[in-house]
Amino acid sequence: MTKVTYQLADGVALITVDHPPVNALGQVVRQGLWDAVARFGRDDTAQAAVIIGAGRLFIGGADITEFGKPPVAPFLPDVINAIAACTKPVIAAIHGTALGGGLEVALGAHYRIATRTARLGLPEVTLGVIPGAGGTQRMPRLVGLDAALTLMTTGKPVSGTQAQAMGFVDELAGDDLRADALAYAARLIAEGAGPRAVTDLPFPAADADLIAAWRQRLTRTAKGQVAPLAVLDAVVAGIERPFDQALAEERRLFLSMLDTPQRSGMMHAFFAERAVAKPPEILGIASRPLDRAGVIGGGTMGAGIATAMVLSGLHVTLVERDAAAAARAGETIARNLASAVKRGTLTETARDAILSDALVTVVGHDALSDADLVVEAVFEDMDAKTEVFRALDRVCKPGAVLATNTSYLDVNRIAQATGRPADVIGLHFFSPAHVMKLLEIVVADATATDVTATAFALAKKLGKIGVRAGVCDGFIGNRILSHYRTAVDHMVLDGASPYAVDRALVDFGFAMGPYQVSDLAGLDIGYMTRQRKAADAHPRDRASVFADALYHAGWLGQKAGHGYYIYDADSPKGRPDDAVTAIIETSRADLGLSSRDFTAAEILRRTMAAMVNAAANVVADGIAQRPSDVDVVFVSGYGFPRHRGGPLHYADTVGLDTILTDIREFAAIDDHFWTPAPLLEQLVADGRNFASLNR
């Protein structure tokens, strides 16, 4: 099938890229563009050309499934140079998205027209590479160094309107892009406008100080990622060398990025996020209607869930116990929306419309009688939850989806409190729920397939990443977290400082270390979890006595100004505290433990071994359907560095035999905690890896 078509319309060659789903620039499309451009050159009846995308978007970028394979001609930089070298005007007509190589094609054209809502960006760094088809050389010429570096090192796209204001889109189109682009071409022809290559513009000058400042900033913000710094290297080549040589340097840097583990990790995360949205059981299953939602409980979590819902266009009724609590919930949601207005992601008019038309906060479950879906977000107590579900069973219409936001309770038991367990599902949001991307969709024994499909449709509507999980204490994320948190507490009992643990994991790329996370969540949360699990504790379990001591001292973390760290005006992000170190030393002494040093490498090995071992059990038990689902949970909800792909992709890169050898070595001292997961042993015995289980 032809992926690029050539048609003549009123003296204009209309070159259409038609390669669903995202018009990616695979070899066939590159060849098609190459041939179309050559034909345009030969076609005396065509005075200008318009390059446009068929379907929902312009061009989604290079075909990333080709990364890691030997490149096949024609190469994208050559195709784009051929477009730029046309002696008659070429116009790129952009709708939907123009990303990466797609935007680079547009930058190779002489003129650009875009719809206002189009998304234009150079997101290559988010895949561990850099723009490799002239983006680093053309974008700075159009928008200046700072704006170009910001676009390319954050990877964040901008709208058509913003792109015009920045200077890399010439015209904005109305509803009919094709017609507007052809009219623009006719106007250019009538005005006698010629081809206008971006490379005719000078590359912006920069002194050494500016580049040094950028390098310093990127070294800090890139957190170990190499691609943002390689973007800067390519830009420096543009400052110092003529276009051809700088383009060659960009290509060299791009190709060198293809071989990095970071590229492989980020691409794994990209494809894992797409795979996770399609659990086999819901393929072809229609979701139930999803327009009116209910939320029960207006605390931080309930209000966050309601905020996410109204922002996505749902009508929400939030139910609280009394009028004062309902009013407080309304205020929290209004505050959340005000922050969205401040960030520029919501207009004031849209905010006002939400508050007047899309949200009600009330007392009494009866108000939920017409809800399509209700999410319960009351406190974590089985009796409280089952009481809510009995009430929902009474008031909700037949077919309504009844969801619990529990983070560990048995969803099967909650479902059994109703006469309609098939309608019940777990929706485990992460706090703050209107910000965090992850949503664990907990499918109980009796959950109907179309209820699961509705939960995935909700995740999509909310802009969240829904991951299917099975029922167990902690589901996917918190079950694994609980295990490796215990492993780090053991290291602290044995001599590591919590500050060294945090540093080792932040240096690895985690957004925060485990003790910083404890301070953020509140030390009461961990304390209550330990209390809850105490009844089932094994005599050989090692208690986190120092954590209990901090709790009893009232050092509950950031909210108390004091947890593992001290938070005050001088150190809003927290500073280590000798008093905490003293408490830990006392705890060790009370337990008669001797203390030893832990290197950063050993801290990392033990943490990762615990995480991978627990994750292997989660996969083997069917709590997660695939290893890559675990990776998505950790990258999107637990601050795991995206460029490492997720814990199980990382385990594959380290080698499962190495991880298993570590676990067996640690088990020589503590064979109660360090029991190798049978699945890990099996994979090593078979010479396989976790990737072999992704399907």
Binding piece for ligand 3H9, criterion CB under 6 A, among 122-130, 385-393, 441-449, 646-654: 122-130
Question: Is residue 124 close enough to count as binding ligand 3H9 by CB under 6 A?
Answer: yes
Output 283 or 668, the one with its CB closest to ligand 3H9: 283
Output 64 or 487, the one with its CB closest to ligand 3H9: 64
As a whole number of angstroms, the distance between CA 516 and CA 511 comes to: 10
**Per rule CB under 6 A, count of chain residues that contact ligand 3H9:** 26
Which among 104, 249, 250, 440 is annotated as catalytic?
Answer: 104
**89, 90, 104, 148: which one contacts ligand 3H9 (CB under 6 A)?**
104
Strand pairing report for 424-429 and 401-404? parallel
297-316 residues in contact with ligand 3H9 (CB under 6 A) are: none
Would you give the distance in Å from CA 340 to the centre of its chain?
19
Output 57 or 303, the one with its CB closest to ligand 3H9: 57
Question: Is residue 632 close enough to count as binding ligand 3H9 by CB under 6 A?
Answer: no
User: x/- contact string, 510-539, with ligand 3H9 (CB under 6 A)?
Assistant: ------------------------------
Confirm if 458 and 450 have CB atoms less than 8 A apart: no
User: x/- contact string, 244-283, with ligand 3H9 (CB under 6 A)?
Assistant: ----------x----------------x--x---------
Question: Is residue 231 close enough to count as binding ligand 3H9 by CB under 6 A?
Answer: no
**76, 118, 166, 455: which one contacts ligand 3H9 (CB under 6 A)?**
76
**15, 17, 51, 64: which one contacts ligand 3H9 (CB under 6 A)?**
64
CB 389 to ligand 3H9: min, Å:
34
Question: Is residue 21 close enough to count as binding ligand 3H9 by CB under 6 A?
Answer: yes
3-state secondary structure of 291: coil
In the structure encoding, which two tokens stand for residue 487, read together?
């492993």
C-beta neighbour count of 399 within 10 angstroms: 14
**12, 62, 583, 683: which one contacts ligand 3H9 (CB under 6 A)?**
62
Binding piece for ligand 3H9, criterion CB under 6 A, among 11-19, 20-28, 330-338, 496-504: 20-28
**17, 83, 99, 253: which one contacts ligand 3H9 (CB under 6 A)?**
99
Q: Which residues pair with 120 in a beta bridge?
A: 98, 158
Binding piece for ligand 3H9, criterion CB under 6 A, among 126-134, 169-177, 224-232, 642-650: 126-134
Q: Is 657 exposed, middle or buried (0-12, 13-18, 19+ CB in 10 A)?
A: middle
CB 344 to ligand 3H9: min, Å:
21
Question: Is residue 98 close enough to count as binding ligand 3H9 by CB under 6 A?
Answer: no
Picking from 377, 263, 367, the residue whose alpha carbon sits closest to that of residue 309 is 377
Output 64 or 296, the one with its CB closest to ligand 3H9: 64
Would you give the distance in Å from CA 358 to the centre of its chain?
27
Output 156 or 335, the one with its CB closest to ligand 3H9: 156
Question: Is residue 24 close enough to count as binding ligand 3H9 by CB under 6 A?
Answer: yes
Output 100 or 330, the one with its CB closest to ligand 3H9: 100
Picking from 49, 50, 45, 36, the residue whose alpha carbon sits closest to that of residue 88 is 49
CB 64 to ligand 3H9: min, Å:
4
| Rounded (10°) angle between helices 76-84 and 101-108 | 20
Question: Is residue 92 close enough to count as binding ligand 3H9 by CB under 6 A?
Answer: no
Output 62 or 680, the one with its CB closest to ligand 3H9: 62
CB 263 to ligand 3H9: min, Å:
10
Question: Is residue 372 close enough to count as binding ligand 3H9 by CB under 6 A?
Answer: no
Instruction: Please name the helix (run of DSSP H) or strand (run of DSSP E) that holds residue 51, with its range, or none.
Output: strand 48-53
Instruction: Please name the helix (run of DSSP H) or strand (run of DSSP E) that holds residue 590, with its range, or none.
Output: helix 578-591
3-state secondary structure of 156: coil
Give the CA count within 13 Å in the CB-facing half-sphere of 148. 28
Can you point out the beta strands (E) in 205-358? 292-296, 315-320
CB 228 to ligand 3H9: min, Å:
14
Instruction: Please name the helix (run of DSSP H) or strand (run of DSSP E) that holds residue 149, with its range, or none.
Output: helix 145-154
- Residue 250 is among the residues annotated as catalytic for this protein: no
The residue count of the chain comes to 695
Q: How far is CA 278 from CA 136, 242, 627, in A?
A: 35, 47, 14
**32, 60, 302, 477: which one contacts ligand 3H9 (CB under 6 A)?**
60
Output 100 or 676, the one with its CB closest to ligand 3H9: 100
Output 63 or 376, the one with its CB closest to ligand 3H9: 63
Picking from 669, 655, 674, the residue whose alpha carbon sits closest to that of residue 617 is 674
Nearest 5°: phi and psi at 361? Answer: -115, 125
Output 62 or 236, the one with its CB closest to ligand 3H9: 62
- Residue 66 is among the residues annotated as catalytic for this protein: no
Binding piece for ligand 3H9, criterion CB under 6 A, among 40-48, 95-103, 362-370, 635-643: 95-103
Strands of the 359-363 sheet, one edge to the other: 359-363, 315-320, 292-296, 373-376, 401-404, 424-429, 438-442, 465-469
**5, 7, 65, 347: which one contacts ligand 3H9 (CB under 6 A)?**
65
Would you give the distance in Å from CA 381 to the centre of its chain?
31
Picking from 648, 658, 583, the residue whose alpha carbon sits closest to that of residue 619 is 648
Using alpha carbons only, give the angle 27, 232, 635 rounded to the nearest 5 degrees. Answer: 70
Confirm if 184 and 123 have CB atoms less than 8 A apart: no
Contacts of 559 (CB under 8 A, 6+ apart): 522
Instruction: Check whether the bond before 432 is cis (ω within 30° of 0).
Output: yes
User: Which positions lie near ligand 3H9, rule CB under 6 A?
Assistant: 21-22, 24, 60-65, 76, 97, 99-101, 104, 123-124, 127, 129, 131-133, 135, 254, 271, 274
* Active-site annotation, residues: 104, 124
